[in-house]
A = this chain, B = another copy of it.
Amino acid sequence: MKTLEAQQVITSEDLLKHWQGHRALTRRLIEMFPEKDFFEFSIGGMRPFAKLVDELLAIAAPALKGIVNREAQPYTEGTEKLIFKAQYLAKWDEATEEINKYWEQLTIEDFSETFNLFGQYEFPIIQNILYFIDNEVHHRGQAYVYLRALNIEPPFFWER
């Protein structure tokens, strides 16, 4: 028993909680953006926050669904055109529920298995999931700069 335990450091439940904590913070940032700036504000030619959120939505629930069903669907972004922040928030909340639902179907064996995510990223599933989280933190860091540049005080990073 010792040996296996000795190599593993986080539970599936805690990892979900960690991810959803990050997602709750990202949701707060969406809420804080002025409607217009959410869709238009940009620095250095980077995507406005709405486009980044399109990416986050195209990854999280669809990717987890693909993992659970072992279906390598291609990555598709912004199939549904959202034009209000409120629509993004509704989509975000739907994704939150979907993630919880699919997560329950993940077995432990799944995490170490290799899966060709979106038919493109062939890695152990744990690495894919860590990538979703990191990618969200990365783009949200970008959104923090946008808010500061707009003279809006963002929430503390450690508030989840």
Contact = CB atoms under 8 A, between A and B. Distances in A.
Interface stretch (A40-48, A56-64, A90-98): A40-48
Interface residues of A, number: 45
B126 A45 contact: no
Nearest 4 interchain pairs by C-beta: A141-B141, A8-B8, A44-B148, A44-B149
A94 B29 CA distance: 35
Number of copies: 2
B7 A4 contact: no
A155 to B, nearest CB: 12
Contacts of A149: 43-44
A137 interface: yes
Given A4-B8, A5-B5, A10-B15, 9 more contacts: A8-B8, A9-B108, A43-B148, A44-B147, A134-B134, A137-B138, A138-B141, A141-B141, A142-B142
Contact of A44 (B8, B108, B138, B145): B145
Contacts of A131: 158
Interface string A13-48: 111001000100000000000000000000111100
